[in-house]
Structure formats: structure tokens, C-alpha cells
Amino acid sequence: MIKLAFEMRLKDKIAIITGAAAGIGEASSRLFAAEGATVVALDLDSAGLDRLVGEIRDQGFACHGLCVDVTSSIRCREAVEWTARELGRIDILFNNAGVVHQGTLLEASEEDWDQALDINVKSMFRTCRHALPVMLRQGSGNIINTASVAGFSGVVKRGVYSTSKAAVVGLTKSLAIDYIGNGIRANCICPATVDTPSLQSRINTAADPEQARRDFIARQPMGRLCQAEEIAALALYLASDESVYMTGQAVVIDGAMTL
């Protein structure tokens, strides 16, 4: 667990975070709130959201939870509209919700393709589509997308997932170039293997979970899994004014996996 000194780097910012109830989204919600942002946490897990929001508020920070299915354009629009109406603006949109499908392309079904592209890519289109007009009116905005090293480097048996994350990189660069003249930035984070509940659930389904975990660790020459808090720290940098000269970048954080 990394230790951070809170410096209010997001003071008075309004941040929407999807996939907020666990893993990277949870760590980022906690960190963003501690750094001064008012966080609007979006997730399908209502119980997880209630726990997260309660704990953040108990610490004296600002957080709202909205139970949202990011595959629904209506629910995404409602969440963005609620944020703009109730909180007055949207400074940061962190598109983090995602799903991982295992297997080669020959092992993938049509349903796998549809779900991966819907959650990993099209959900970002939905939130951006509704948040961008707000940011354009403000003359400022910051979009962060969770991609993956799998989006540009070969990862064994991640055919559908890799394809969807490559699309996230392309989406990010498109957003950056189209809206650079409007004060809006867009960057994406490309992690290797992050120790999250999602990863653990995949490990638990393996024939030998202990060996599966060792195999996941072995992919990173650094010899360990990335922690969700480490991704949150990078997201904080991208969300803050410290990275104001960065846009259109796919930022790798991978324990040397791609070296």
C-alpha cells in the first residue's frame, strides 16, 4: 500500500468516476475526494456504492453515489445531467468501468465481442457524448480513460479484451485532437496486471488458483502485481493541473511488462 500526503490537488473540482465501487475506481474515488474533489461515483453495485460513499463522507470528504449501468445511454445521460445540474459543472470524467474476457479469438463468442465493446468502449462514448457539451460550455474539461497494455502489446489469450482496449487508445487520441482547442484534455492509463477483486475472481475460477496467481505475477518483470492505489495516483496526476501540458497520451504503468 502506497502512502500519500494529501495536498488538495483537486480542490473544488467535480469528478465523475465510473466503475467506482471496487478496484481502480474505488481507490481513485477515495483519493480524488481526499484531494479536494467532489466525487460522483457511478457503478452497478449499489451496496458497494453505499459503502464507498458512506466511508468517504465519514472522513469529511464529498462524494455522491449513483447506481448506473454504463451500457445504458439513458442512465449515462441522467448521471451526467444530474452532476451538471446539482453540482454546477464537470471538471473530470474518469471512464474506468470495464470487463475482461479471457481466451483467443477462436474461443470468443459473438456475445463476448458485444459485451466487451459495449462496456469497455461504447460506455465511454456514452459518458463523453453527454459530458462534452457541459465541458464545451465551461471551456475546460479533463477526460481520463482506463485502457491497458493489452491494447498495443500482445497478451496471451486476451483477444477480445485487447481489441477493445486498443479502441480505447484510439478514442482517447480522437478526443484529444478534436477538442484541444476547447480547453479539453484526454489521456488514457495503460496498466499491466492490477490486483483487484476482478482479477481475484478470475484467479478463483482457475483449476489451480495459486498457480494462476503466480502466473499473473510472472508477467511483470518487477515481480509483483500493480496495486489499485498506484493506478489511482497516476489518475490523480492526470486529473490535476500538474499534467496540464499533456493530452492524447497513452500512459503505461506496467512493472516493465512491455519492455
> Which amino acid is residue 166, in one-letter code?
A
The residues, ordered by sequence, that sit 6+ positions from 106 with a Cβ below 8 Å of its Cβ are none
Kindly name the residue from 161, 179, 237, 245 that is annotated as catalytic.
Answer: 161
Region of residue 23 (phi > 0: left; psi between -120 and 50: alpha; otherwise: beta): left
Has 161 been annotated as catalytic? yes
Q: How far apart are CA 66 and CA 79, in angstroms?
A: 7
Give the 3-state secondary structure of residue 49: helix
Q: How far apart are CA 150 and CA 147, in angstroms?
A: 8
The residues, ordered by sequence, that sit 6+ positions from 210 with a Cβ below 8 Å of its Cβ are none
Which amino acids are annotated catalytic? 161
